[in-house]
Every structure is written in structure tokens, then in C-alpha cells.
Amino acid sequence: MNPGYELPQNEAGYSFGFLDEYAKREVRRTVLKAICIPGYQTPYASREMPMGRGFGTGGLQVTLSLVGPGDTVKVIDQGADDSVNAVNLRKFIELTCPHVDTTEHTRDATLIQSRHRVPEMPLTEAQVLVLQVPYPDPLVVVEPSEARRKTMHGEGDYSRLLTKLYEDIVQFDEITISHRYPTRINGHYVIDPSPIPRYDVPQLHQNRALILLGAGREKKIYAVPPYSQADPLAFDDVPFRTEDFTDEYGRRRACARCGAIDSFLDELIDDDGARIWQCSDSDYCNERLAAAGKQEVARA
């Protein structure tokens, strides 16, 4: 996008938030329905956006329909605010939503659109998290027919999904799903929580914020309302577990940058070719560094 290009403010072709008012209303209605039926994949029209399907058009439509003047928006991609997808979406929002602030700080945001991560910092009741979803239906791996999948969802029949987990344990001694871990919301619908790591799944449980999931290509919106029950599918004797960041000495790996031992880490290769681990959530990492710096200043 050309940063020098200014969108004509008063022309009928573009309204606040790019989508026309009718489109935004339809999305809002869908969001309301999705909140009423936690975990239910609510169909919606999904408009064409000026970017390819798969670049977060589902999440973006939700964000653009909910954002208003006075909101502060944060966009993250795999935890980072400065990766290409996040930067472009943020610029698009800035361009189409006058008087809306953007931020890189989780704490300051009222609306957070995210790809593949839930922020480390606990969210508040005043915040909304929008997750971008490529494949909304967790049953697609066991049932090709959408009509039959709908019946299975309706009847809460997830035995075939569980059978897949059983087969995983038989073959690999553990459940091998790393992302998109099927999670049951409020005891009925099982959702695909988008490609967040297993580490983030417990964050869906009893979260204070409203979590909305939007799939643009598949034209579905679903919700994990505040304080919802979110149970990853598992067996009584093979419980769900998150990624393990212990090193060969049995110690929890720490972020090479900020030293955090309570965050989701990305594995990187440094300039010397050595493997290092670093916070995936860049805001979290920066905040910790800033706090540490202040402490040092105070000590000095």
C-alpha cells in the first residue's frame, strides 16, 4: 500500500472502517449470535476485502465492524507487532478508520486482532480479542461432508475426533496436535481455536475478555464469550498438556532477551549458529526489558 496515498474522506465510496454500514451490521449481528451460542460456527456473508483470502480477512472484517472512534487497536502476527501481516493490517485500519488509535502495547488496546497467538499479558473485561482463522471446523479431519459435520456438532458427537486422539496415543504415545487443538466450549461445541499453540489454549478458559474468531474464506464467525468454560479434548488418564520448554537439565528455558521463564518461546538461530529461545510475544518481552531498565535506573 502506498503510504503517501490518502483515502478520500468524504466520498460515498468509502465509509468509516472500509466496509459499508450494512456489511458491518451484518457482521455485528453474526457476532451477537456467535456470543449467544458459544463455540457455534455462525455463517456470515464475508465480503471481499482489498487483500487476498488467507491474509486475515475474517479477523479484519470483525475488527472493522466493531471498531469505533475512541478505540485503540493492536494487531499482532505470531506475537509480533512488526511482522509484515501485522504491519499491513494495522496500516489498513489506520487508513480506513480515522480517529482510531493503534498501539503495540497489549495493556493500552481495547481491540486486539491476532494471528496465531493470545497475548501473554492477561486480558481485561474491557478488551476484545479477534483471532484470524484459516479452518474453522475441527471435524473436517474426520468427516468430509459439511452436512454431516453440522449434525455431529449439533448432537455434540465428537467421538471420531476423540478416536483420532486415541490413534495418536497408540502410534506416538502422545497427542501430536501442536496447533489448532480441538477445544470444547461450555460443554458442547468443539472449536478449532485457530492456529494458536497448545500453550495458549488454557488462556481461552475463563478469560475476562471477549474472544471472537473470524474465518474469511470459510465465512464463519464463532465466539468464546468472557468467562467461558474451555476444555481441550483429552482422556482422563492422558491429560492435555502444553508445550514443554524445559532444557536437557530439566530447567525451564528462559527468554534470551528478557529472561522470562513464563512465556511462550520461539526457537531461533543466532549469528553464531547457536540455538536460542526468545519470547514470541514481542510486547511482553519489551515491557519486561523496559521494567528491568527502570529498575536499573532506580538502583543507579
Partner 1 sequence: MNQMLEVRNLSKIHGRGCPRCFDSTGPDMDTNICAHCGSVVAAHGVSFDLRAGEILGIMGESGSGKSTLVKTLFFDETPTVGEVLFFDGERQWDLFALNAAEQRWLRNHRFGMVYQNPHLGLNFKVSAGGNIAERLLMSDLSHYGEIRERARRLLARTEVLPERMDESPKKFSGGMQQRVQIAKALATQPPLLFLDEVTTGLDLSVQARILDLILEIQQELGTAMIVVTHDLGVIRLLAGRTIVMKYGRVIESGLTDQILEDPQHAYTQRLVASSL
Catalytic residues: 39, 255, 258, 279, 285
For the chain, the straight-line distance linking the first and the last C-alpha, in angstroms and rounded, comes to 46
Q: How far is the CB of 155 from partner 1 (least distance, A)?
A: 5
Partnered with residue 210 across adjacent β-strands are 128
Cβ 147 to partner 1, closest distance in Å?
12
CA triple 157-134-265, angle to 5 deg? 100
Adjacency order of strands within the sheet including 220-224: 42-43, 220-224, 210-215, 128-132, 111-115, 72-77, 101-102
Site track 180-219 with partner 1 (rule: CB under 8 A), x = hit: ----------------------------------------
Site string for partner 1, 135-174 (x = CB under 8 A): ----------------x--xx-x-xx-xxx-xx-xxx---
Q: Please, which residue, 75 or 175, has the CB nearer to partner 1?
A: 175
The whole-angstrom separation of Cα 12 and Cα 224 is: 35
Chain residues 58-87 in contact with partner 1, contact rule CB under 8 A? none
Between 107 and 160, name the residue whose CB sits nearer to partner 1. 160
Q: Write the Ramachandran bin of 40: left for phi over 0, alpha for psi from -120 to 50, otherwise beta.
A: beta
Minimum distance from residue 163 beta carbon to partner 1 (Å): 4
Judged by CB under 8 A, the chain residues 24 through 53 that form the site for partner 1 are none
Please state the closest distance from residue 42 (CB atom) to partner 1, in A. 21
User: How many binding residues for partner 1 (CB under 8 A)?
Assistant: 18
Nearest to 74, CA basis, from 291, 283, 287: 283
Nearer to partner 1, 97 or 175 (CB): 175
Strand stretches in the chain, DSSP E: 42-43, 72-77, 101-102, 111-115, 128-132, 183-185, 190-191, 210-215, 220-224, 230-232, 265-269, 275-279
Q: Which amino acid is at 13?
A: G
Closest approach, Cβ 235 to partner 1, in A, equals 4
Nearest to 103 by CA among 127, 71, 132, 78: 71
- Closest to partner 1 by CB, 170 or 300: 170
User: φ and ψ at 231, to 5 degrees?
Assistant: -115, 115
How many C-beta neighbours within 10 Å does residue 146 have?
Answer: 12
CB of 187 to partner 1, least distance (A): 12
- Give the per-residue contact string, 224-253, with partner 1 (x = CB under 8 A; - = no): -----------xxxx---------------
Which residues lie below 8 Å from residue 239, measured CB to CB, with a gap of 6+? none
Closer CB to partner 1, residue 20 or residue 168?
Answer: 168
| Smaller CB separation from partner 1, 234 or 289 | 234
Structural contact between residues 64 and 76, judged by C-beta atoms closer than 8 angstroms: no
In the complex, the residues that contact partner 1 under the rule CB under 8 A are 151, 154-155, 157, 159-160, 162-164, 166-167, 169-171, 235-238
